[in-house]
Each structure stands twice: as structure tokens, then as C-alpha cells.
Amino acid sequence: MSKILGYPLGFIMYGIYSLVKDYGLALIIFTVLVKLLLFPIYFKQQKGMVKQQALAPQIEKLKKRYANNQEKFQEEQMKLYSEAGVNPMASCLPLLIQLPIIYGILDVVYRPLTHILRLSKDTITNATEILTKYFEANSIAISNNFKSRPELSILSYIKTNPELFPQDLVEKVGNFKNTLFGFIDLGQTPTIHPDVWNAESICLLLIPVLSGVFQLILTIYTQHKQKQKNPEAMQSMGSMNIMLYGMPIFSIWIAYSFPAGVGFYWAISSLFSLIQSIFLNNYFNEERSLKVLEQERAKVQANRRNNKQSFMDKLVEQQKAMNNANNGNSKPRQTYDQKDKLSRSEMNEVNKQIIKEARKRMAEKYGDDYTDD
């Protein structure tokens, strides 16, 4: 899958590298370009979050009203979202789009000879065979990384042992540097135990840390803003907060398993996302948020007048049908808040009706005769 996704992204990286002649700078430009292309989706996501936050007080009231009837709460919540033009699942879209991009970037970083230098498959296969014979002749263990992704090793050995390879290949690869600032090899995998401590090994060590730190800052900022706008909802998240803060730390460990170029992409991407998040939060102030909500409600009403059914309208209908099926298509029961308004005699009648319905369902279930006493 990563190879398939790597070709279109590799073509873009090839174009950028051809202009700037610097791999690290090309990766920065590529990351910013991807973020700009995805900005309309992030803008729509933020707009949806703003609408959900504006509805938060009403959602909390529904939770209290239907505390003992979860099915009814879900139905009313979907109905509220539908009327406001809110699709809570739309927030997953940016994440779903980013996953294939990360897979593609991974392939671009692992295969610079294919994507950046545009060498033929036969040339790379021949170089792989040469390096394999060299390892065998010198009793050097062949790693799994070399077996599955040999291009980074080929690139490294062409620079250190050029005599092993054909002259035309050495000339093609000689001027290519997959480095950042001219000395940080982004094809190397960072480690906390380098063979030699120097400026490059320290920078490689810091790249995964920076990617995790930027992600953590982004999470803290996002959670802080959501807490300001909807404190009650944030209090109910509980263990979810632990996962949100734990993921950036976990990503540091993951970044130490991949070439530094992947961690560098994450770091630049998280930094740009932080800048983007600050801008969008300032743009969608309280006044503009309320205006957006009113515009969406007017749009929903206009669509309904034209007999246009939204995705959320369909979900509301499905949830209502499920609730009716679960209740055996019986008459709607009195909710607890409605019962509080009834007199004692009326309450007795309601309870009798509930008991009759229960007895009828039991009789139908076990095939017994039922008589309405």
C-alpha cells in the first residue's frame, strides 16, 4: 500500500527537490504544501467543532433529562445535530486523509533512489545484488531492513565505498544528499546509543523528541481551548484525556523506529498544525460561532422545504425506528420528568398501563394466553 501511495507523493517531492536541490528543505516545502491543500478540510472540521460546542449546553440538558433512557437521549441528540446541520463524524475526515499521506511519505523516505533520483528498477536491483554479495563476502549480517528496503543502504555505501558500484551509478548518486542543513542524514534511523556522539547524532536524537513535543503542545492548546468553550464536556472525558496526552509521548518511541525523515515530517506537520489551530480558534470567536450556527440552521430549514434530506436526517429516522423496534412498537411511555407533573391517580393509571404492557409481552414470549383484566 505504501509503495502505491508513494508514487504520487514521490513525484511531488521530485519536483520540489529539482527546484531547491536540498532534501530537508524539499520535505519542509512538501509538508507546508500538503497542509495548505488540506486547509479547506481543516476549516470545515473546525466549523463543525464550533457548532458542536455551541450546542453543548443543550446536549447537557438532554443528558440530564434522559439520564435513564439512553436510546431516547441518542435520538434527541441526533435530532438536535440534524436541525443545526452538524455531522459529528466529519471530524474524523482529516485523520483518515493524513494516514495514507504518512504511508506515502514513509515510502518516499525509504526509497530516494526511486522517487527523487528516478533510477530504473533494473539499476536498483543490480546495486542491491552487488551490495548483497559484498555483505556475504565480508561476513556482514544482512538485516531485514536491507532485505525489504535496500535503497538507503545502497545510498550510504555508494558514498563510503564507491568502488563497489558502476561508475555511471556513482556519478548519478554522487551529488544527491538526503540531508537537512547539509549534514543531518534524514535516511538514518535515530538512536539513543550512537556509535559516535557528534552534531549529527545529537540532531538525529532530537528529531523524534521535537515531533512528540510539538504534538503535545498542540494537544495541550486544543484541550485548553475546548475546556474554555465547553468545560462540562471536558470533565466527562475522563480517561480519554490520558490517551490524548499519552499519544504524543508514544509517538516519540515510534519515531525512533523509522528514518529521521519521517520524524522530521511529523515535527513540521505538528508545528504547522499548531499555527493553523491558533489561527482558526481566533477566527471562530464567539460572535462568529453563533452566526455560523444560525446560518446552518437556516440552510437546513431551506433544504427541508425543498424536500432535501441530509445524512443526519437519515440517522435520526434510523435511530427512531430502532427505538420503536426495541420498545415493541408499543405506545410511548411517560418519561420521568413527565411523571413528576402527574397527579397520584394519573400516576397509578400510567403504572397500570406499564404493567399491562409487560404482562402482554411476557405472554407473547412464552405462548401463554393473555386477558386484559
6 and 83 fall within a common domain? yes
Nearest to 261 by CA among 194, 198, 177: 177
pLDDT in tens, 108-132: 888 889 998 899 999 999 999 999 9
Q: Tell me the per-residue pLDDT of 342-358, one tens digit each, with 9 for 90 and over.
A: 566 666 666 666 666 66
pLDDT of residue 335: 47
Write out the residue range of the structural domain in which residue 347 sits: 336-373
Specify the pLDDT at position 372: 59
Same-domain status, 76 and 202: yes
Q: Which helix (H) or strand (E) holds 187?
A: none
In a domain, 165, yes or no: no
Domain end marker among 233, 263, 293: 293
In a domain? residue 299: no
**Residue 351, C-beta contacts closer than 8 angstroms, at least 6 positions apart:** none
Percent of the chain with pLDDT over 90: 18
Residues 260 and 358 in one domain: no
Asked if residue 86 lies in contact with residue 48, where contact means CB atoms within 8 angstroms, the answer is yes
Total domain count, the chain = 2
DSSP tag of 149: -
Assess if residue 356 is contained within a domain.
Answer: yes
The dihedral sign for the CA sequence 244, 50, 94, 271: negative
346 and 246 inside one domain: no
Question: pLDDT band at 331, cuts 50/70/90?
Answer: very low
